[in-house]
Amino acid sequence: MERTQTIREAIREELLRGAATSRELSERVSIREKDVAGHLEHLERSMRARGERLVIEPASCIACGYAFVRRGRLTRPGSCPECGSTRIDPPAFRIEAA
């Protein structure tokens, strides 16, 4: 539990410093990339209480520019519904004062 809190605090500090993707966060905080979304979800709830907001720059398709704005937001999509490309620019996250 304590370790979880430490991880989330470290993620928060990274995001206060500037935008980062799941992969960047996983490298900087030393967790698995697939665990980042879960931490962000919890973090988002505690941030609201602090008057902060998680800003998500949506994933987009490198091939055609399609933006995944309505999608599950926190994870990288597998392929583009418009052109089928799997070259996807992942979502990036940062924290803003609400």
C-beta of 39 vs 91, nearer to Zn ion: 91
60: left (phi over 0), alpha (psi -120 to 50) or beta: beta
The least distance separating Zn ion from the CB of residue 39, rounded to whole angstroms, comes to: 29
C-beta of 18 vs 81, nearer to Zn ion: 81
The least distance separating Zn ion from the CB of residue 18, rounded to whole angstroms, comes to: 27
The least distance separating Zn ion from the CB of residue 60, rounded to whole angstroms, comes to: 8
C-beta of 55 vs 64, nearer to Zn ion: 64
Does residue 22 contact residue 32 with C-beta atoms inside 8 Å?
Answer: no
